[in-house]
Structure 1
Amino acid sequence: MSVFTRYANGFFFTPVALGRVAAMRFLAGLFVWIEWWAYKPFIIQHRFLPEDLYQPLFIGRILPIPAPNYWIVTGTLVVMLAAALPVMFGYRPRLFGWILFIAYFEWMLIYNSYGKVDHASFGFMVLLLVLCMMPEARWGDREHLSPRVGWGFNLVQIAVVCTYFLSTWSKFRYGGLEWANSGVFTWAIIRRGTPFSDWMLDFPLLLNAAQWGMIAFELLTPLVLFVYPWKRIQYSIVAFFYAFHVAVFAALTISFLPHLFAMACFLPLERIDPKDLARRARAKLKGGKDTPRRGAPEPAAEMETTG
């Protein structure tokens, strides 16, 4: 077996704790509720649009999906929100996971079929699909490891990286190499600038350098996949990704929130146990001694030393 094959098998089938599945299911359902209310509340307004404005994506032209109307848009939202709740709390997660994925798929088809296609939800849609095929899991479970879970989350990680990497391909496809020397960032700041970015309009060379930096950043993002054996390095890169999006939001108020939720699958969320955290908080409030959670190993006794 070649070194590349061993490395690829190690990446794709690295066992991951089931506790991360429970955490990601909660985050996925939580985002669905956040999206319709705060992130993209305007999608529900599509129920009032005339059908002749509907320009379905390729997948919408292949599948026999009717044009959105009042009842289709409203019904899709109701089903999506209703399915998100049991997924969040681990009740029949596969059944309701499939319902949630299908409803969210239609929700995104409605959103992207009126002239604007948003790539920020690609990784999140892959996450919803993967979670449908994950086993049942509970918070804080670090003992049970599954190569299938590792395989699924690695697919989400690849989708997250493709969101960055293919973005550069799209820039070059439609704007050519001149995109990096164009006035894209200048136009963006004029249109959506904030006090954190308006000052950059006085430094056009800095804006061009930032555009080249953006391209370099997006092309180098696949590195986060190849450093998987060195978790501290991988977590540092993921932290940089999050910091990058915080900076973009501060400068241009552009948010990639579904992408950020999907990117959480890189993180060791299996270490989080809400019940254990609540127990510790109650113990601190009462001023009592913290007791180990059920099933946790007893602390080792101190060894006596002799002179």
Structure 2
Amino acid sequence: MTPLPLAQKATGWFFQPVALGRVAAMRFLAGAFIWVDWWWYMPWIIGHRHVPGELYQPLFIARVLPVFPVPNFEIVVGTLVVLLAASVPMMFNKAPRLFGWIVAIAYFEWMIIAMSYGKVDHGKFGFLILLFLLPTMPKARWGDRRNLSEHVGWGFNLVQIGVVCTYFFAAWAKIRYGGWEWVNSATMTWAILRRGTEYSNWLLEYPGLLRLSQWGMVGFELLSPVVMFVAAKRLKYGIVAFFYCFHLTVFLAVEISFLPHMVAMACFLPLERINPRELIRNAPRLPGLIRRKLKARKAVPAQTRPGEAAREAEPAS
């Protein structure tokens, strides 16, 4: 029995081959963010080593899988040490599967420690999926565009679905818990009053514009799955660039950052084109290369239509 054309298209889309160079780039970005995370992005997590165990209210998954002990000084510090130590070889593609699994499990425990005291962030969902899928991918090197893998395509598609679900279900949660008042009330006004910056305080004088931004935000989140089905690469990259600009705007307006989500979203991009060794090697020659290209462009004679005399060159100033 031959598979239906629709099933063939779905399978081809889901397992579309991706260059291995993207795996090396995403491993480096994931490992680098882990260091940024504990040192700058969420440094308050390490403070839970001093929090009394009576305040620990484990997340649902920690209650379903009772393998997560109550955090104390040794568990919090030990988890962080293991996480940081394993992330370095993973970044540089040394035994990436072994250290990738260690990083994924340690970071998952790190999130249990972080989010079991009343604050739960949805911006880490895509990043967690990325960490658990990177160990399943083969060893890779920067700039490898020749070797393609359907398994890598499958893994990054799952990460992309996780990124899109973060947007879509954020809109669903707004409507579910806040109702349509979320978009019709002064939600952004309240946010700017609490966390406004010099870039957004002026918007308080335009409540209608803030209400329009609330509708635009929910509309954008509901339509975000479109990026998964766009075939034209330039259009897809343009949509992803809009996602990044959206998060930059939110950060400038109310200082809410989705940095781990933005790291996971990088799997949409053709990072296999980046080769750090070539960039470093060509860096000293880059100004000369740019000048030569500009001179070559100027040297090309202007194309003239048939029967039209060519323009005389203008004198150099």
TM-score normalised according to structure 1 size: 0.90
Corresponding residue of 1:279: 281
Query: Residue type of the partner of 1:144?
Result: N
Deviations 1:53-104 (A, max 9, x none): 1111001112221111111000000000001000000000000000000000
Write out the 4+ residue segments of structure 1 that deviate beyond 6 Å after TM superposition.
none
What is the deviation of 1:284? 5.3
Q: How far did 1:5 drift?
A: 2.3
Alignment partner, residue 253 of structure 1: 255
1:27 to 22, 29, 37: 29
1:298 alignment partner in structure 2: none
Q: Report whether the alignment pairs 1:54 with 2:29.
A: no
% identical aligned pairs:
63
User: How many Å separate the matches in 2 of 1:41 and 1:96?
Assistant: 23
Gaps in structure 1 of 5+ consecutive residues: 289-307
- Report the Cα distance in structure 2 between the residues aligned to 1:86 and 1:37, rounded to whole angstroms: 19
Structure 1 equivalent of residue 293 of structure 2: none
For residues 210 and 284 of structure 2, what CA distance do their matches in structure 1 show? 51
Q: Distance in 1 between matches of 2:213 and 2:283?
A: 45
Specify every segment of 5 or more residues in structure 2 that has no aligned partner in the other structure, as ranges: 290-317
The answer on 1:225 being equivalent to 2:261 is no
State whether structure 2 residue 226 is matched by structure 1 residue 194: no
User: What's 1:128 paired with?
Assistant: 131
In 2: Cα distance, 1:259 partner to 1:154 partner = 15
Report Cα offsets for 1:270-307 as digits up to 9, x if no partner: 0011111111124559x79xxxxxxxxxxxxxxxxxxx
Q: Secondary structure at the match of 1:111?
A: helix
Residue 76 (structure 1) aligned with residue 85 (structure 2): no
The alignment's C-alpha RMSD in Å is: 1.4
Residue 305 of structure 1: aligned partner: none
Distance 2:163 2:205 in 1: 34
**What secondary structure is seen at the aligned counterpart in 1 of 2:139?**
coil
Structure 1 residue identity aligned to 2:80: L
Q: Which amino acid counterpart does residue 225 of structure 1 have in structure 2?
A: M
> Equivalent of 2:237, from 228, 235, 256?
235
TM-score (norm 2): 0.88
Amino acid corresponding to residue 163 of structure 2 in structure 1? V
Tell me the distance in 1 between the aligned counterparts of 2:39 and 2:136: 27
CA displacement at 1:170 relative to structure 2: 0.8
Distance 1:171 1:105 in 2: 26
Distance 1:180 1:10 in 2: 39
Q: CA deviation at 1:2?
A: 4.4
Q: In 2, Cα distance between the equivalents of 1:277 and 1:203?
A: 46
